[in-house]
Structure 1
C-alpha cells in the first residue's frame, strides 16, 4: 500500500472543504484534498439552489391564482409537472457545474479520490490503496438526511430532499414529516404546484421560529393552505398497493387513515463523521459521536485536527460553512499559530411565503441574558402600506432590545421580504447599534422597510427612550 506525507489533509470538497483548501494553500503547498463521493456542495446539489428553483415555480403558479386581487383575470394555472422538474434539474446541474469547475481548477496533485478513515490522529487510510500521513487535518465531510427508523416503513415510497429533485413528474400527493426549514419550503412549494400535502411534526416547532407569537401566526397561516400538525400523533405507517397509508389522530375527526403517493422525510440532517473511524483520531467526542470543538478556531480540543461546515453540526448554513472553512484552513495551514476567526451574527432565512427570518439573539436567549431587563417591539404587516399595495399584507415582526443601554439584540419575523429585512437588521445588530441609532437611519416611502421602523418605534417607547407610538402618524405617509 502506498504511503504519502502532507502538511495538511482536508476531507471533503463542499463549501467548507474548498474554503479550507484555498486558505491552507496560502501557508503551504503540501496539501491533500480528499473526496469519496461527488464533487459539489450540498447547497448546489440537493439544498438551497434546487429547492429555490422549485419554490420559484410554485410562486409563479401562486401569482396566477392571486391575480384577481388586482383586477387581473387569472384562474387556476395549468402546471406541467414534467417541465417544472426538468427546469429544476437543468438549472441545478448548472450550479453544480460551477462548483465542479472550481474543484477542477485546483492542483491535480493535491486531489485524492477515495473514502478516508482515521488510523490514528495523523494517519488516514484512503480506500485500500493509500495511507496518508498528515501533520494537520481538516474534517469537512458535510451532512446527509437523517431518517428516523419508523419512517422507513414507507419502503420504496420514502423520499428525502435529495431524491425529490430527481423525480421526473410531480406526484399527486405527499406526506411531509418535519416542519423544519426543508419541510416547510418543499411542502408549501409542492402544495402550490397542485400536490396534495399534509405535514406532520413532533414537539410543536415550526421552522427555526422561537418566538411563540410568531410561531402561532405562522402555524395559522400555513394551515390555511395545507394541514400542518406540529405535534402529530402518528400511529402507523404502511406501504400499500396505493402508496403510503398513514394513520393518525385528527383533532376534529379522531383516528384517520390517509394514503399518499410518497412520504417525504424532512427530519433534519446528520453529520458525516460516523464513517470516518473518528474514534481513532484521539479527540474528544460528544454523545452523538461528533468532535467537540472551539467554534471560533474550529479546533478539536488542543489537537491538530479542525472541523468545519455541516460536519460539526453547529450552524448548517452555506455562509457559515464558508466562514468556518476559511478559519479552519488558515489555522491548519499556519499551525501551531491558531487564531480565532470572525464569526458573524446569526442570520437565517426560510424561503416560504411569507418568509421567515431570525436575526441575532432569540427571544429565549434575550430572556436568559437580560432577565427582565428587555422589551419587545412589534409591527403587523396586515395593514402596512407597501405590503397592501402588493397584496402581500400578512405577517408579524418582533424586535428585541435591552433596557438601559437601548441596544438592539435581535428579531424574528414572518412576513414579506424577510430575506431583505433580515439582512438590514443583522447588519445593525452586528454593528451593535442602539434602537435610537437605527431609527435615525433613512426610511423611504412607501416601502416594506417602514414596517421595521414601526416595530423599532414601538420598541424604543417600551425601552422608555422614545415617545409613545402615534396611530397613523402623518410624517410616515399613509399605511406606514
Structure 2
C-alpha cells in the first residue's frame, strides 16, 4: 500500500508527489497524458516562449533607432512553434527527473473507494491502494454556445500549441488573460488579430486604468478589439473561417480568418474520476471543496490546484500541493495561502497582488491610493522598449498605512510584484517601504518612490511635502 496516491501530474500533482517523496513516503503519481499538466504543455510555458520571441523581434527592430541595423527576414511561422515545442519538452523532461523517486503510472485514474484508485492503462486495468489520496486533476478548456472545438479551425489553447505553424490571422474569443497575452504576442509577430470580449472592457477583473493601458497597446500593435460583443456563428469554407460578431446593440459583422481561438474560461475535471463513489463534495460551479489544509469532506482525501477553484494559477497550485503534502506528513502549521500574485505577460506587463482599488471601493474599505508613473523612472529611459504609460499603484489601509494591495503596469512588473506581495504578507507600511535603500538606476526604485509619495514626501516627482 502506498502512503499517498496523487491523481494528476500537473503543477499541484507533481509538486505534492515530490514533496511527499522527500519525506520518505512511498508515493504513486497517476498522469493520463503529459507530466506538467496545463501549465507546462499548453499554458504558462509555451505562451511565455511565444511572448519572448515576439519581444525579441521587437527589440531587434528597436535597435535600429540606436544605430544598429539588423536585417530581419521573413517570420518562419512553423519554426517558431517547433522552437516552442522544444521548450515544452525540456520543461517536461525536467519534471520527469524530479519525480524519479515516485512510482509513475501513465493512465486514467478514478476513485474506487477511500483507499483504492483504479488506473486504466494501455496494458489493462489495475487497482492500487493508498493511505491518502490527493486529487489534482486540473481543468479543461471551455467552449461557447454554438461553437465547438474541432482542433483544426476552432481551437482551444491546447489545440493552438499543437499547430504546425502560427496562423496568419486569428479571431480570439475572450479578452481575459489568455486572450490578451496571445493576441499581443501574435500581433507583434505579424498575425492579423481580432479579439471579441462580451464585457465592457478587456481583463475586467482588474482596475479600469490597467485595462485602458493594455487596450492602448493592443491597438498600437494592430489588434482589432470588439467589446460588448459575442461570436454567434462560425462557418468553414475552403479552409477559411467566417465568424459572425454581434454587438450588444444588435449590430453584426463577419470576419474571415484562418483560425478561431476560444479563450473564455475553464471547466473543472471532476467528472468521471469517481468522486461519487466516496462522497467527495463539489461546489455548484464544479470544483472540489477543501478546507485551509486542503482536506475534502472525506478524511484521507485531499485536493489541490485548479480543481479546487479559482484563481487558476500554477503558483497557487504549488502552494496548495505543499500544504496537502505537509499535512499528510503530520505538520501542524502550514504556509499561508495569500496573497497570490497575478501576472499578465502582455506588453507592458501587469502585476497584481492583494486587493485592487476597484474591489476596495466595492467593499467600502477606507483606503489611500498612491500612484507613481513609469515616466518618472530613470531606468525605463535606458531600455529599447519603454513603457512610459505604466505605473505602480499602492492600495494603503487608511488608518494604519499598511499595504493591502498593489498594481504594477510596465516593464518588469512580473518580477517587481513579488516585493509588494511580500509587503502585504508581512503587513508592511508605507514607512517600511520608504526606509529601504533601492539601487539606482533600477525599476525597484519605484517602490521607494511611491512609498515616499504616499507619505507626502516625494523625491523624484514634484509635489509639496506634508
**TM-score normalized by the length of structure 2:** 0.89
**1:438 has 2:433 as partner:** yes
- Tell me if the contact between 2:204 and 2:211 (Cα under 8 Å) persists in the aligned partners: no
Give runs of aligned pairs for residues 160-171 of structure 1, distance below 5 A: 160-171=156-167
Secondary structure of the 2:260 match is: strand
Match of 1:354 in 2: 348
| Among candidates 111, 118, 127, match of residue 111 of structure 2 | 118
Match of 2:270 in 1: 273
Q: Distance in 2 between matches of 1:143 and 1:216?
A: 30
Match of 2:214 in 1: 218
Q: Distance in 2 between matches of 1:204 and 1:326?
A: 38
**1:129 has 2:125 as partner:** yes
- Tell me if the contact between 2:278 and 2:298 (Cα under 8 Å) persists in the aligned partners: no
Structure 2: state its 5+ residue gaps.
none
Give runs of aligned pairs for residues 109-258 of structure 1, distance below 5 A: 110-127=103-120, 129-152=125-148, 156-207=152-203, 209-225=205-221, 226-249=223-246, 255-258=252-255
- Tell me if the contact between 2:316 and 2:340 (Cα under 8 Å) persists in the aligned partners: no
| Among candidates 340, 345, 349, match of residue 339 of structure 2 | 345
Say which is worse superposed, 172-181 or 111-120, in terms of deviation: 111-120
Q: Distance in 1 between matches of 2:410 and 2:205?
A: 13
Q: Distance in 2 between matches of 1:470 and 1:17?
A: 47
| Among candidates 353, 375, 396, match of residue 368 of structure 2 | 375
1:130 Cα shift? 2.5
- Tell me if the contact between 1:176 and 1:266 (Cα under 8 Å) persists in the aligned partners: yes
Match of 1:463 in 2: none
Match of 1:398 in 2: 393
Match of 2:285 in 1: 288
Secondary structure of the 1:95 match is: helix
Q: What is the aligned residue count?
A: 459
1:470 Cα shift? 7.7
1:455 Cα shift? 3.0
- Tell me if the contact between 1:201 and 1:231 (Cα under 8 Å) persists in the aligned partners: yes
- Tell me if the contact between 1:138 and 1:332 (Cα under 8 Å) persists in the aligned partners: no
Secondary structure of the 1:394 match is: coil
Match of 2:37 in 1: 41
- Tell me if the contact between 1:85 and 1:167 (Cα under 8 Å) persists in the aligned partners: yes
| Among candidates 400, 416, 427, match of residue 411 of structure 2 | 416
| Among candidates 444, 448, 453, match of residue 449 of structure 1 | 444
Partner deviation per Cα, 1:210-265 (whole Å, 9 max, x = no partner): 21222223223322221123432433222222421112247999532111000111
- Tell me if the contact between 1:270 and 1:313 (Cα under 8 Å) persists in the aligned partners: no
- Tell me if the contact between 2:234 and 2:244 (Cα under 8 Å) persists in the aligned partners: yes
Structure 1: state its 5+ residue gaps.
461-465, 476-480
Return closer, same or farther for 1:410/1:235 CA change in 2, 3 Å cut-off: same
